[in-house]
Amino acid sequence: MSDLPTPAKDFDPAALMSILSGFAGRKVLCVGDVMIDRSIYGEVKRISPEAPVPVLRITRETSALGGAGNVVRNLAALGAALTFVSVVGDDRAGREVGQLLGALNAVEPYLRVSRIRETTIKNRFFSIDGHNLLRADRESVTALSAADADDLTRAALAQVAGVDAVIVSDYAKGLLAGGLAAAVIAAARAANKPVIVDPKGSDYSRYAGASVITPNRAELADAVGAEAKTDAELIAAAQTLRQRTSAGVIVVTRSGEGMTVVGDTVAHLPAETREVSDVTGAGDTVAAVLTLALACGADMVDAARLANIAAGIVVGRHGTAVATVADIAAALVHSGLAGLEQKIVDRDSAAARSQAWQHQGLKVGFTNGCFDLLHPGHVALLRAARGQCDRLIVGLNGDASVRRLKGETRPVQAAAARATVLASMEPVDLVVEFGEDTPQALIEAVRPNVLVKGADYARANVVGGDFVESYGGRVVLADLVASYSTTATIAALKAGRKE
C-alpha cells in the first residue's frame, strides 16, 4: 500500500489557465546537448536471405531536433522567446541542427561548431504501425575542449540577466561534463532567476544550487546509490539528493505513475494519460513547462500539475511530440471528459494513426472546416463523412487561418474549444489543427481513403481531391442541411433576433 501523500484531485483550472496565459513571450535561456532525432518507418514483410533478420522497406522518414533541441521545440511551441546555447560537429547533421532551429519562432541559437566532435544522431526504426524495431546512435560523448568550453560559457553567461528563467538540459554528451553547468547555475541564482535541470549520469555535484532537478526514477536511484522502487524509498532518495545538491525541489518523473514533488513538503501527481503511445521526449516537455510556469511565478505544485498534464498529452502521441498552450488548455477545459485529449493530435501523430488503421484494413475518411459555433449542418456533415469510412479524421482550421478566411472578428471560439467540441462527437475519431489556409498539406500527410466535403462544393474545387484520387481514393460530396450557417447565426445574434 502506498504511503505517498496524494493531493486532492480538485484544483482550480482557472488558476492554471491564468498561469498558462502568461507563457507567451517569456524569455528563457536553454543550455544543453543537441542532437538529431531521425524516425524511419517501413513495412516488414520478409526475412533477409543474407541473415535471419527482418527486411524493412522504408516508406517514410522524418527528422526533428532531439535532446536539448526537443526542449527548445517544446519551449517554442509554448510561445517562449529563447536563446539556445549548444555545440555541434562540423558535419551535415550539425548544419541540419542549424536549419531546424532557424525554422522555429523566437529562437536565437548560439551553436559552437567543434572540429573534434560529431553531431549526435539517433536513428529510430519503426514498423508502419508505429512499433519500435531498432535504434542506432552516432555520437560524441567526450568533454568540451578548453576553447569550446570558454566560448560557450561566455555566451551563456551573457544571456542570464535578460531572461526570466534558465534550463539546463543534460544528455551526457559532454557539453555539461565540465564547469559549464555549475557556472550557469551560479549566475542564474545570483541573478535570482529560477534554474531547472533535466539531469543525466550519477555526478550531480555540477547541479548544486539548482532551483529544481527533474530525474526519473532510475536516474534518482543512480544518483544517490540507493533503491527507489517503493514510494518510501523514492521519497528518501529524493530528500537525500536535495540535501546533497542544495536544490530547492526534486521532481521525480515516474512514467505511467505520474510524478512526485519533493521539497519542504511532498506531493504526488497521478499520470494524466490513459493511453501511452510513446514516452520519448516526455521529460523534455516536463522540463519546458516547469520552466515557463516558474518563470510566471507559479507555485511548485501548480507548475508540476501543468507539466504533468503536458506530459500526458505527449506520451499519447507518437515520436518526440510537443504540447502547445492550446493542447494544455484543451486538456484543462475537458479535464472531466475521459479520453477526449487522445482524439486531439498533431499532424505527425495523425499520419501515423492513419497508416496504422489502413494497415489493419480500415477505411480512413477525412473532412475539414472551421467548425465555429457548431450547428446541425456541421453535425450532418460529420455523420455523413463517418458513414463513408471506418475512421474519421477532421482537419480544423487554426485561429489565424480562420481570421484570414472569415475576418478579424472570427473565430468566436478559440481552436482549443472548437477541437474539444469536435472530439466529444461520436462520429469523430481524430481532430487535427492546421495553420494553413487549406488542408492540402494535412491531406497529403494522412493520405485518406475517402475525402468528404459538402455538396455546396463543385468537385473541381475540392482541395486535395486530385491528390486523393491519384492513389485510388474517392471524393464524396455529402448532402447538407439547409438554412444553417455560422455567419448567419452571428449576424442574427448581433441583430438581437433568436435563431
Catalytic annotation, residues: 284
Q: CA quadruple 275, 280, 283, 286: dihedral positive or negative?
A: negative
- DSSP letter at 216? B
d(CA 245, CA 327): 34
- Which residues are bridge partners to 431 per DSSP? 344, 394
**Whole-number Cα distances in Å, 236 to 68, 224, 307, 392, 407:** 29, 10, 23, 49, 57
Gyration radius from the chain CA atoms:
24
Nearest CA to 447 out of 370, 357, 322, 316 is that of 357
